[in-house]
Amino acid sequence: MSRKLAAGTAIVAALTSAVAGYRIGAGAWPSPLASLELKAAVPVAGRLHEPSERKVLYWKDPDGQNDFAPAPKETKDGRAYVPVYEDEETGFKGIAQPKPKTDRKIVYYRNPMGLADTSPVPKKDWMGMDYIPVYEGEEQDASTVKVSLDRVQRAGVRTEEARLRMLAQPVRSPAIAKPDERTLRTITLRADSFIEKLYVNETGRQVKAGEPLFRIYSPQMVSVQVDYRIAVTAPGKGPRDEAGALQRLRNLDVPESVLQQLRTSPNPSMSIDWPAPVSGVVLQKKAVEGQMVKAGEELLRLADLTSIWVIADVAEQDIGAIKIGAPAKVTFRAFPAEIFEGKVTFILHELETATRTGKVRIEVGNPDHRIKHEMFADVVIDAGAQDGERLAVPNSAVIDSGNRQVVIVDRGEGRFEPRAVKLGTRGDGFIEIREGLKAGENVVVAANFLIDAESNLKAALQAFTAEPAPKGEVKP
């Protein structure tokens, strides 16, 4: 009975004090914080509890909405916000916040909004927010910026490791197919002759080496054969005469089959079947059966089309990245669904003045002769394949202001360092880093402009709040 009486007396005294406070004060009821302190003073089991030493971090919406307040607050319908104590804080999205280590020395207190303002003792900013303690070993240097973990997650900051990789640098250009000039062969005679029979009588004909092209009669070649037989059989003639006559036959490019016949037969060959010197396709045919041809006049032109040249017109700004031996992929307009593999074998030493393009030769195999010369093609040359692995980061990691290129390096625990770098080649969505970064360092690839903006703001505030140098002294 005495316990109930004591509790009732305490409640009546508390209510009387509240009413008196309302009458004596400015006509306002006690604040919600006073109500909380009042509740903490309610007696339990015949004695008063001491006020709780739990620290309230902030107040949150009673309905669980994403709304918080640094001080007690009420909803529109008059309900009080729920206090969140220090030991109840689980961090943003359920990530537990580390408890402060009391055994570590506090160096200073920093501004909770990230401004360039510190204090050697605890204090509050103009909004009433407590300054954040910075422990020994957590000091920020001037080159880094600290961002809270919840802001990092809300901004969608993502990082990726800088590492060595092969950078494909594709260079695209139009091209045209040409015959391999090294296989071109023209058929001529070294003496005036008459074409008695034309065996290869059409352009585009495939011929093999040794196959007869035409039959000719040449008075000069017959005369040289007679001289050779005289040098071999006539009395008083020696090896020297035979060698001279044989050399005159070779000078007229008489086929080897005729020379072998002269060694065994006393009669010269009046008509000669002229063999093909190489295998190939007839590109041009100027000979006509029955015509008389002069010495040196072109009769046929042959080319081996088992290997084709593709001449690409590469833009001037890309020509420097292409090297001999670089792989290339060729797509012909006649075969749009098929890709032919080739490699760069030559780069012409001059540019076209009108188009500012350079000629790049690509050699492509053509064993079945499907590729015809003068075919149009599209070429993709991998200009970076021969350079090996290079340190690279995604293109989105680089903040390029024109005269300065920066990446944001993740130092861990919410610390980020803007770092100037020197760039190299680009390819496959990556860019080479030549200076300023090491393999294995993590760089920000998403929302990095937000961190860069905060870093620039920090630098500006430090410059703004820096003490002016005394007269006559220049600050470094």
Cα torsion 250, 252, 255, 261: sign: negative
| Residue 6 one-letter amino acid | A
pLDDT tens digits for range 425-459: 787 788 889 888 988 898 988 876 666 665 565 55
- Which band of pLDDT confidence, cut at 50, 70 and 90, is reported for residue 306? very high
388 vs 472, higher pLDDT: 388
Same domain, 228 and 277: yes
Query: Could you tell me if 400 and 314 lie in one domain?
Result: no
Give the model's confidence band at 304: pLDDT under 50 very low, under 70 low, under 90 confident, else very high: very high
Number of domains the chain is built from: 6
Q: What pLDDT is stored for residue 379 in this prediction?
A: 96
Is the pLDDT score of 66 beyond 80? no
Share of the chain above pLDDT 90, in %: 37
Q: In whole angstroms, what is the distance from residue 326 CA to residue 349 CA?
A: 17
Give yes or no: residues 326 and 352 share one domain.
yes
Does residue 354 register a pLDDT over 90?
yes
Q: Tell me whether residue 114 is in a domain.
A: yes
> Where would I find the beta strands (DSSP E) of 305-420?
307-315, 327-332, 340-351, 357-365, 376-382, 389-394, 398-400, 405-412, 415-420
Is residue 249 pLDDT above 90, yes or no? yes
Whether residues 176 and 322 fall in one domain: yes
pLDDT tens profile 220-244 = 999 999 999 888 888 877 788 888 9
Q: How confident is the model at residue 6 (pLDDT cuts 50, 70, 90)?
A: very low
Report the percentage of the chain scoring pLDDT > 70: 73
pLDDT confidence of residue 21: 43
Please tell me the distance from the alpha carbon of residue 368 to that of residue 281, in angstroms, as a whole number.
Answer: 12
Identity of residue 382:
D
Q: Is the pLDDT of residue 96 over 60?
A: no
Spatial distance between the Cα atoms of 281 and 207, rounded to a whole number of angstroms? 6
DSSP 388: -
- The CATH number linked to 401 is 2.40.420.20
CATH (domain of 244): 2.40.50.100
> Do 318 and 356 contact (CB within 8 A), yes or no?
no
Statement: residue 343 has pLDDT above 80: yes
In a domain, 197, yes or no: yes
Helix/strand/coil for 103: coil
Whether the per-residue pLDDT at 335 is higher than 90: the answer is yes
Sequence-ordered strand ranges (E) for 112-262 = 118-119, 132-135, 145-146, 158-161, 163-166, 170-179, 185-187, 193-198, 206-207, 212-217
Residue with the bigger pLDDT between 253 and 150: it is: 253
Query: Would the pLDDT of 3 be above 60?
Result: no
Q: Output the pLDDT for position 248.
A: 93
pLDDT of 462 reads 52
Residue 97 lies in a domain: no
Order of strands, sheet of 300-303, starting from the edge strand that comes earlier in the sequence: 185-187, 300-303, 280-285, 206-207
**Amino acid in the structure at residue 130:** D
Within this chain, do residues 195 and 291 fall inside the same structural domain, yes or no?
yes
pLDDT of residue 314: 95
Residue predicted with more confidence, 187 or 471: 187
User: For residues 264 and 459, which has the higher predicted lDDT (pLDDT)?
Assistant: 264
Query: Would you say residue 472 lies in a domain?
Result: no
Residue 366 and residue 324 in one domain: yes
The confidence score (pLDDT) of residue 454 equals 59
* Residue 475 within a domain: no
Identify whether 94 is part of a domain: no
pLDDT band at residue 414 under the 50/70/90 scheme? confident
Residues 364 and 220 in one domain: no
- Are residue 60 and residue 17 in the same domain, yes or no? no
pLDDT of residue 10: 46
Q: Which helix (H) or strand (E) holds 301?
A: strand 300-303
* Whether residue 78 has pLDDT greater than 80: yes
| Backbone torsions φ then ψ of 431, nearest 5 degrees | -135, 140
| 229 and 250 belong to one structural domain | yes
Cβ atoms within 10 A of the Cβ of 324, count? 12
Higher pLDDT, 474 or 295: 295
Q: Which domain holds residue 74?
A: 56-89
Residue 471 lies inside a defined structural domain of this protein: no
Structure-model confidence comparison of residues 323 and 101, the more confident one: 323
CB 114 within 8 A of CB 146: yes
- pLDDT at residue 348 in the model: 94
Contacts 24+ apart (CB under 8 A), 296-299: 296/188, 296/189, 296/190, 297/188, 297/189, 298/186, 298/187, 298/188, 299/187, 299/188, 299/189, 299/195, 299/213, 299/214
174 and 323 in a common domain: yes
Q: Which of 245, 265, 298 is the last residue of a domain?
A: 298
Question: Model's pTM, two decimal places?
Answer: 0.54
Residue 208 and residue 256 in one domain: yes
Domain boundary pick from 274, 298, 322 = 298
Tell me the pLDDT band of 41, cut-offs 50, 70 and 90. Answer: very low
65 or 343: which leads in pLDDT: 343
Q: Is residue 145 part of a domain?
A: no
The pLDDT-based confidence of 22 (bands split at 50, 70, 90) is very low
- What's the average model confidence in pLDDT over 133-141? 66
User: What's the mean pLDDT in 52-79?
Assistant: 81
Say yes or no: 396 and 445 in one domain: yes
User: Can you give the pLDDT at residue 137?
Assistant: 61
Q: What is the pLDDT of residue 113?
A: 66
Instruction: Please compute the mean of the pLDDT values over residues 144-166 and round it to a whole number.
Output: 75
Last residue of a domain, one of 247, 274, 298: 298
- Least Cα distance to 185 among 252, 278, 254, 274 occurs for 278
What pLDDT is attached to residue 49? 45
